[in-house]
Chains A and B, each alone.
Chain A
Amino acid sequence: MLGVKLAYRNIKEAGLRTWLNVAVLALTFTVMVGFQGLYSGMLAQSSRAMIDDEVAGGQYWHENYDPLDGLSLEESHGKIPEGLTEMAKQKKATPILIRQATIYPAGRMQTAQLKGIEPSQTILNIPSNSLASAEDELPVLIGKRMAKSKNFHIGDYVTIRWRDMHGTFDAVEGKIVHVMNTQVPSIDSGNLWVPLEKLQKMTVMENEATIVVISQDVSEYNSYAGWQFKNQAFLIRDLTEMIKSKRISSSIIFIILLFLGMLAIFDTQVLSIFRRRKEIGTLMALGMTRIQVISLFTIEGMFHGVLALCVALVFGMPLLFLLSAKGIAIPKVTEGYGYALSDRLFPVYSAGLVLGTAILVMIIVTIVSFLPTREIAKLKPTEALKGKIS
């Protein structure tokens, strides 16, 4: 307790020097928590959007389906297993048929994916009910990115050419009936959503699908011959990896900030020991052991960390929690980042994140505070009393 009391008095008297160190450390702590919270929020928000709009509770993939291989798409279709058909009837699953197509926006030939989905499905959070049209023409649902890149508007017609199961080319004029505002680029860019039944007829693939999306309420997954089940974790793994890699790259900022904070404390400690040699000698003459003096100076250094945490909790945390409540407006440019971001990003600050970062900062501050104090162990009391360093 004596060391704590003395250390507190000493750093209080150090005035501006103390507060500069505290400010740098508090900023470091706040930025670290802020960035981590931003990535946690990004991951949570993107994962939620992907799960709601694309992944749901998991997907059964036709055994030939490989989303990374466009050429294999021709062979990636099969009869929907009976068990999955039953689930679809109970609104626990929704089949999707995916076919390669060609469109001609502004007279240019471009590839696209035709995705047939049941208009009445409720498994995925996409406005498929807009496809429930009684008209003869093919209703087409697209995303905002697709609309923007191809300059499509509601009511526009798009020429779609595809090949049926036998390889025969056919074409139709599809009518854009809705432009959906989705955060998930993989169901948006290059995607034309059409009614499943119509696509099955167009491709002569009656009762066939490429994938079957399962409701999030389903917890048991049966095996079906020719179909492979892919769970949520697998389906969002790319996103998780991307966020993880961005989190790692952001740690460079933390390292720089931490380094600045460490440098400030290290410098202060070295300067303290240099300037206060006479005081160190006096403390020894009054009966303090070297370990007590080293502890005193280390505690003084650690107090910077404690004060920084207090300052960060008082000033930084309310700011961060305000940001987490109000969200941060995301510029449009991030649409090209390749993962789902909504217009506002809501950072997530868990107790673990705040506590973990606080512990990390305190450990580093303690080490940096202690290292220069080893000089005291070499100090002879008589030399110290004269103000010399041995």
Chain B
Amino acid sequence: MVVVVNGQEHGIEEGSTVARLLNELRLDAQPVAVELNGGLVRKMDYANTPLSDGDRLEIVTFVGGG
């Protein structure tokens, strides 16, 4: 199936979760905020939030410098 991550199409295995997607994007250890179809997904829910074909995600990385 295909989901849209930050405006770009991303192919991912059927039945994948948000956690799996973050792992594929190598973002699972980084401070990120995830919005799925316009709603916040909490970190504790990453592993039990399944993705569906056509889902739209915005994933924002927070950086700490300044």
- Is B truly associated with A? no
Q: Which residues of A contact B (CB under 8 A)?
A: none
Chain B residues packing against A (C-beta within 8 Å): none
